[in-house]
Structure 1
């Protein structure tokens, strides 16, 4: 795929790698630059920053993207299949939002959030329909206007992020969405657990794993920003899958947290290659706590 366009994630997602790609690029398999990698897999898609960076620089014959978050995959599929209808809805929301006072914008946000949560019972996530389009538009609107651009669900599956006081936010980025739609025409999108994201993996494949990170302290829990949490048992399943896929000859890369004096990752991925990158915390509400964080990159090459 030859992409002559600049694209960026259209939703903000916890753990996004958009600003870290320059560090990650130096640790990508050399086979990418040689044109020997034909297939790309990303089973924790999230905001898609890694995918969007890679697809603009490398050519793949096949691309397989997946995530367990049903709302996220629904939105990607709408961008893929009905981007202009999606833009119509987003433009309607933007026109109404821009006309409101700051107080009324907050009220409009909560009206939208309530509607979004109520309508989730009408969604058939297994069958694409026109109903997906306004729902995807709502999801993008909420992501742009909620607190810190965070997507978070409670155990009931309700989106529960408060209003972010984003009174002058870019709700519609038409060129970016149209360009992303073009890119997604050549991808397979699936809503599935990471363990079900692979068929017969070939050695000319590259897989990037960016799971919910392991806890950074003994008092932390394995958590995620959706109703389906990611626990130690899932980290263990993932490490077992990593070892299984390694036998195929495919190139594998996995991101995770670095915790000093914590041997969880070194035990789970013993025998593989460890390197480090440095990210900037963005999620804490207190700016002074948004310091540099050391992260792991684990590869089988």
Structure 2
């Protein structure tokens, strides 16, 4: 399928698939209906495929509210964002006010914190407060007004959905293409609020299997990225498994950043 991978997402996002976009765009089918992504994150595959109609969903209300504000009024968001210098004092002040202000102000704050936090990680404490430490400002420039306007233009075709992944795909039909990239399985590692305290967890895997099996029965074409793809493959016989190498960049130290396999499972040729 043809794609446009030149446009960079406006957000940094842990687990982003930007490194393997050529692989994913090569696997994507022709989209006759909607592109549906229930765990949209930075939405880099959406930007690359440039569909005519889309549903971008996530359980994180701050992420979806940011995209909504950018879609509706990128100039207002940019005007607020331009007031804040790139330094630790400003970062900590904005982090303390997380969740406050009108829609444009909250979106600008989300963009700022995302740009300058440690490794682009999103994490909340038990009270729902963003608590990622300052990571420095050597992360590339903040998106400028033209980039925010371009992103806004892309979002005009998208329905923005805040909620559980099941609700995003329950009405998918044979013309739709669904891409799912849920948070990965890490065994007994403690949940520290990554992606938000109500984000996808290991206990949700069975619900994921049921939801995508039902969508597949309705004819939707589905591509899933997940690190325990063998678990999904066992439950979804006949689906095709592929992989691509990717260098992990979330580890806190350089020697923890290693190449691993990113698995993809799909229900179509």
Question: Given the alignment, which residue of 219, 234, 245 partners 1:249?
Answer: 219
- Residue ranges of structure 1 left out of the alignment (5+ in a row): 99-104, 123-130
Q: CA deviation at 1:186?
A: 1.6
Distance 1:163 1:44 in 2: 25
Give the unaligned 5+ runs of structure 2. none
Distance 1:270 1:158 in 2: 41
Within 5 A, what are the aligned runs for 1:76-225?
Answer: 76-93=67-84, 97=85, 105-116=87-98, 119=100, 131-166=102-137, 169-198=140-169, 200-215=171-186, 218-220=187-189, 224-225=194-195
Aligned equivalent of 1:17: 17
State the partner residue of 2:34: 39
- Find the aligned partners of 2:207 and 2:260 in 1 and give their Cα distance: 25
TM-score (norm 2): 0.91
Cα gap change, 1:71 to 1:84, in 2 (>3 Å): same
Q: Which has the larger radius of gyration?
A: 1
Residue number among 63, 71, 96 corresponding to 1:72 in the alignment? 63
Aligned counterpart for 2:252 among listed residues 281, 285, 290: 285
Deviation at 1:258, TM superposition (A): 4.6
Q: Secondary structure at the match of 1:228?
A: coil
Give the structure 2 partner of residue 63 of structure 1. 54
Contact 1:40 1:64 (C-alpha < 8 Å) held by counterparts: yes
Distance 1:250 1:64, change over 3 A: same
What per-residue deviation string (whole Å, max 9, x for no partner) do you get for residues 173-215 of structure 1? 2221110101111211111110111353221111100111122
CA, structure 1 residues 108+184, in 2 after alignment: closer, same or farther (shift >3 Å)?
same
2:178 counterpart SS class: strand
For the pair 1:264 / 2:231, whether they are aligned, the reply is yes
Q: Compute the displacement of 1:4 (Å).
A: 8.6
- State the number of aligned residues: 266
Secondary structure of the structure 1 residue equivalent to 2:207:
helix
Q: Quick check: 2:240–2:265 contact (8 Å CA) kept in 1?
A: yes
**Preserved contact between residue 13 and residue 41 of structure 2 (Cα < 8 Å):** yes
Cα distance in structure 1, aligned partners of 2:17 and 2:185: 17
Q: What SS is found at the alignment partner of 1:296?
A: strand
CA distance in 2, matches of 1:225, 1:189: 17
Q: Do the aligned partners of 1:65 and 1:188 also contact (CA within 8 Å) in 2?
A: yes
The 3-state SS of whatever aligns with 2:212 is helix
Aligned alpha-carbon RMSD (Å): 2.3
